[in-house]
Amino acid sequence: MGQPDGRDYEWLELAIEESLRCPPSDRAYSVGAVIVDERGTEVSRGHSRESGAHVHAEEAALGKVPAGDPRLPAATIYASLEPCSRRASRPLSCTELIIAARIGRVVFAWREPDIFVPGADGRERLARAGVAVREVPELAGRARAVNAHLWRPYG
């Protein structure tokens, strides 16, 4: 799978910054996503709950790009959290949306913890579909910090 390059860190930092725009929720992660074409130009970005309570970041970013956009097969989607592999609120997971859009590469910072969906395997499903996947665990702490509300006791 190789190592991420310097640009991967920059784009992931932007995805994490985008996650800070998420409306708070105690039942969902705050995630940011940025789609970048092969020339290093931003195509779109999105964050969780951007346009509705059940909207995920990758879904929001992909929703701003026309279906069949010729830039997508050579594009990279950067996400602060591993794309979801299962969800109850929509017919397709973010992993399935990425595969359907034919995005060629995914880079993410933080593996999905077993809080809402035990056994998340977005990385593995993407790889099986031929998508190049890179995890950048050095930035996982920053992505996790945006979601600190999920670990705080409520009362």
| CA quadruple 68, 74, 75, 76: dihedral sign | positive
Query: Which pTM was predicted?
Result: 0.93
Q: Which amino acid is at 10?
A: E
> pLDDT value at position 120?
86
> pLDDT value at position 6?
79
Locate all alpha helices (DSSP H) within 20-148, ordered by sequence. Answer: 57-62, 94-101, 122-128, 140-146
Cα angle: 65, vertex 105, 24; to 5 degrees:
60
> pLDDT value at position 33?
98
Active site residues: 58
Cα angle: 137, vertex 140, 141; to 5 degrees:
130
> pLDDT value at position 155?
41
Separation of alpha carbons 115 and 89, rounded Å: 16
Average pLDDT per run of 10 along the chain, which is 155 residues long? 73 98 93 97 98 96 96 98 90 96 97 84 97 97 94 57
> pLDDT value at position 149?
87
CATH class, range 6-43+52-136 = alpha beta
Q: If residue 7 lies in a helix (H) or strand (E), which one and from where to where?
A: helix 6-19
> pLDDT value at position 89?
83
Residue ranges covered by each domain of the chain? 6-43+52-136
